[in-house]
Amino acid sequence: MKNFKIICLLLSFSIFFSGCQLAKMGGDAKENPYDPKLRVKKNLEEGKGFRLMDFGDGNNRGGNFEFASSNELWRASLDIIDFIPLASVNYSGGIIITDWYSSNDDSTDLIKISIRFLTNEIRSDALDIKVFTKQCDINNKCKITEKSQNLVTELKKEILKKATIYEKNNHQKKIKPYVLSVPGDG
């Protein structure tokens, strides 16, 4: 009986403290409407909720999975460097490495690009881009050096610009208007 009281006491404390944590996660009252119906509408339009009617919709069979194609930075990076053959691509590791590439038949001056994703957010410090040049002489002795910041800056700018466009288009697709149904309206 004594163990039962201790278990009940521990359970009550855990429920009490978890309730405190949930209250903290609710967010700022200034950002959320006071009226519960308006909060529901806002959450559903932003994709933060679910609708029971969505489950009966035959289009979502098998679930809704997020793959690399849903990451705007990833897609934009692949689109920007699509003219260069890829040597290694690892979405879970967050890295894209191209093969050595030359824009003309002169194979003595080659470039290689490496893009590391530091975060999925679209911001300037989300990408770590390195561009290497490989210059070979007639005897096939090659020197590899890291390229200057100009090309890196241009690549980063173009990737972020394209990723922003993708994010804007995806956000517009996700917003579904919420229609408040009133009982007896029917």
> Could you tell me the pLDDT band of residue 181, with boundaries at 50, 70 and 90?
low
Residue from 103, 70, 60 nearest 84 by CA: 103
pLDDT in tens, 134-179: 988 888 888 999 987 889 999 999 999 999 999 888 766 665 666 6
| Cα gap 152→80, rounded to integer Å | 12
- Per CATH, which fold does 68-172 belong to? Alpha-D-Glucose-1,6-Bisphosphate; Chain A, domain 4 (3.30.530)
Residue from 119, 173, 176, 129 nearest 154 by CA: 129
**pLDDT exceeds 60 at position 30:** yes
Element housing 73 (H / E):
helix 72-80
CATH 3.30.530-classified regions of the chain: 68-172
Largest CA distance in the chain: 89
Mean pLDDT value across the chain: 76
**Is 130 or 183 the better-scoring residue by pLDDT?**
130
Long-range pairs, 137-141, Cβ under 8 A, ≥24: 137/108
> Could you tell me the pLDDT band of residue 79, with boundaries at 50, 70 and 90?
very high
| Cα gap 104→89, rounded to integer Å | 24
Residue 42, judged by CB atoms within 10 A of its CB (0-12, 13-18, 19+), counts as middle
Mean pLDDT of the region 113-117: 94
Give the length of the chain. Answer: 186
Mean pLDDT of the region 29-36: 69
